[in-house]
Each structure stands twice: as structure tokens, then as C-alpha cells.
Amino acid sequence: MIIHDVGIVGLGAMGSMTALELARRGQRVIGFDRFRPPHPFGSSTGRSRIIREAYFEHPQYVPLVQRAYVKWAELERDGKLPLLSLTGGLMIGPPEGILVTGARRSATLHGLPFEMLTARDLRRRFPVFRARQNEAGLYEPRAGVLRPEAAIETALALAASVGADLRFDQPVLEWRAAAEAISVLTSTGEYRVRRLVLAGGAWMAGTLPGVPLGLTVARQPLFWFEPKGDRALVSPEQMPVFIWEWAAGQLFYGFPDQGSGVKVAIHHQGEPADPDTVQRPAGPEEAERLRVIMAELTPAFNGRLLESAVCLYTNTPDGDFLIDRSPADARVILASPCSGHGFKFAPALGEVLADLAMDRSPSLDIRPFRLRR
């Protein structure tokens, strides 16, 4: 039986980028996915993702996202397909809230370009946003929109072109460690690998990792609304991507109209879900909470509901990533349950995971993402 250098379980955002990185380094790679990515059943669905540099969650993410910008440009060049559009980004909320203070902390610490805007500045410069008097905005010019499905498809095509063996519609049932190699059992056969990267997204919360990780999965509805009034105001040329702390610790976010309406969603607060039985798609009644928020803050978004979808967040207890070797076997690498904010980092994390699979020390600091932090 052939022994591959590295097996990858899950070929979504993290798995596809890891497969590409390893195959380009000359590794014999085999990858598995229970579906045929890109697909709408996991965490990388919905046609758009925000990329932002003034990272409100923690300044430790800034070097990682800066490396990701470089890698996104490389992927666009190699795939000959646009994947990232810069629109600028707004973080709106109380000046003392978690969003604005966190973004300003990261921007200041890392010397990033940004502007602080008063509520009056926001309403004048971006009239679709009706900021309240007690609110402020941090504008960062390098934020924008990523195309997740196109990115995954591009990475997988490039990986296959340099030798990666990609097996779709082939769920991994379990893996077994032996001295010489790790056996990977799928729905159709058994394979042997020297290293194994587990990048199964929401399925990492089950038995796939082989050790309990304390992960939970949340169902996160996404909505597209027909804009009302002057459509130019919600175009990518005039409207940035945004995150808004509309109540203490509660965030919603959105994208300009790129041809299918304004996309809006609530960040976190989703109901617990099982990835195999989760209810899809979101129903019109689920949009009502957003409609109440938009009626006050973004009435220009609050037109006819055009479409909905469901994304899955795989959450760690503290909301930070998980990138580490398995305590069950150091040859097995646990790959980034990202708590709903990981896609933007995917090509940089692909480098990190490839380094770990080849027993190299990553150039980026991943100590904050260890299992026993």
C-alpha cells in the first residue's frame, strides 16, 4: 500500500490551502472531503467574507492577516481570478465598546492606517449608516471582500495541478495510529499517511479528532436584502464592509451590494447545531431580528428578502483558533476551528499547517492557538 507523506481530512478553506502549499513543496498529498468542495454545508459558504486588518479580537492576529494579504495576492495571480476586492471597512459602535476599542488597539499597536469618525462624520460620509450620537467609527482602508467558494475552488485546482490526490464525496470514518504510518479509513477504502492534518470544520466537534476538544457548533443564518432608495449608496464604490456593535457585546455585519443584494448577518449568537442534521436554509421569519436592527441603523438595506443561507461556526471555548499537534499522536495536526472569524487567514494558515506537517517551525507565532493554552 502506498504511504503518502501527508493526508488532509477536510478540503474547505484550511484544507485546500494546506494541500496546495504541501503539494508545491513536493510532498505526496492525499486529501479527503465528505462532499465536493466548494459546497454550502460547512463554514465557507455565502459568496463573501470580510478581510480586515485592525483586528478587534486581539492584536496577535494582525501579523497573521498581514501574511494572508500577501498569500491572497499570490493565489489571485496563480489562479488568474479576482478573489479580493478592497472596499474599506468600518467598525461602528460605542467608543468604549469591544469593537471600536479592540480595533483601535490593534491599529495603534501595529501602526496601521485608520481614521476615527464621529457619528456626524459617519452619517455625512456614508449616508447608509445612521450612527447614533453615542457611537463612533473606525475606518480602515485595507478591509474588503473575499470570495470563499472561488478561493477554495482555485486552491484545489492548483493543488491538483501539482500532484495532490483529492478524493471528494469520501467521508473519513476514523484514523488509526501505528508505528510506521497512520491508517485513514474512509467510506470507500483505507489509506496510509506519515502525517495527518485534520481540517474538518464543524465535524471537528465530533469524534473525528480522536480526542475531546471542547468545541461547539452554531448555526449562523445569512441574509441578502434588496436595497431601498439610491442603489449607488450601497455599491462597493460607496459603501465599505462593516461590523456594528449595536448593543453591548452584540455585533452584526454586512457587505455592499455586489449584484445580489446587501448581505447582512448577526455575528455569533447562533443556536447549537449538528452539521449532519442542521436546518437549511434560513427561513424568512429568522430575518425579523435583523429587520428591527436595520430599521433603526441601516434602513436602506431593509427591502425585500432575496435569499438566505446557513453557515456553521465551530467555536472554541475562548473564541481563539486551535492549531496544534494532537495529544493522542504528534503526527496528527489539529487545524483551526476558527470560531467564525477564520476564513480571511486561510492561505497563511495553509503555510503554518504545511510547516507543522513537515516538522518545521512556522515563521508565524501560533503559541496563542495551542490546545493547552
> pLDDT-derived band of residue 368, with 50, 70 and 90 as boundaries?
very high
**Sign of CA pseudo-dihedral 168, 170, 330, 65:** positive
pLDDT recorded at residue 48: 98
Domain ranges of the chain: 3-44+149-212+319-369, 87-144+216-315
Residue 336 has pLDDT above 90, yes or no: no
Q: How many CB atoms lie within 10 A of CB 348?
A: 24
Residue 16 has pLDDT above 90, yes or no: yes
Cα gap 197→312, rounded to integer Å: 20
End-to-end CA distance of the chain: 38
Cα gap 56→139, rounded to integer Å: 12
- Smallest CA-to-CA distance from 358 within 336, 333, 337 is with 333
Q: Which helix (H) or strand (E) holds 107?
A: helix 98-109
H helices present in 117-242, as ranges: 119-125, 148-161
Q: How many CB atoms lie within 10 A of CB 363?
A: 11
**Sign of CA pseudo-dihedral 163, 85, 39, 68:** positive
Question: What average pLDDT does the chain have?
Answer: 97
pLDDT recorded at residue 328: 94
The dotted CATH code for 3-44+149-212+319-369 is: 3.50.50.60
pLDDT recorded at residue 310: 97
Share of the chain above pLDDT 70, in %: 100
Segment 230-247 shows an average pLDDT of 97
The dotted CATH code for 87-144+216-315 is: 3.30.9.10
pLDDT recorded at residue 1: 78
* Contact between 119 and 154 (Cβ < 8 Å): no
Segment 308-333 shows an average pLDDT of 97
Helix, strand, coil abundance in the chain, percent, nearest 5:
30, 30, 40
User: What digits encode the pLDDT tens for the residues 278-307?
Assistant: 999 898 999 999 999 999 999 999 999 999
Respond yes or no on whether the N-terminal peptide bond of residue 37 is cis (omega within 30° of 0).
no
H helices present in 5-81, as ranges: 13-24, 62-79
Cα gap 22→8, rounded to integer Å: 10
Cα gap 11→171, rounded to integer Å: 11
What letter does residue 269 receive in the DSSP assignment?
A: -
H helices present in the chain, as ranges: 13-24, 62-79, 98-109, 119-125, 148-161, 288-297, 346-357
Pairing of strands 329-335, 190-198: parallel
Extract the C-alpha cell encoding 69. Answer: 494579504
- Residue whose entry in the numeric block shows the C-alpha cell 466548494: 38
Extract the C-alpha cell encoding 52. Answer: 480586515
C-alpha 338: how far from chain center: 7
User: What digits encode the pLDDT tens for the residues 39-80?
Assistant: 999 999 999 999 999 999 999 999 999 999 999 999 999 999
Tell me the backbone φ, ψ of residue 177, rounded to 5 degrees.
Answer: -90, 135
C-alpha 341: how far from chain center: 5
Residue 112 has pLDDT above 90, yes or no: yes
Respond yes or no on whether the N-terminal peptide bond of residue 38 is cis (omega within 30° of 0).
yes
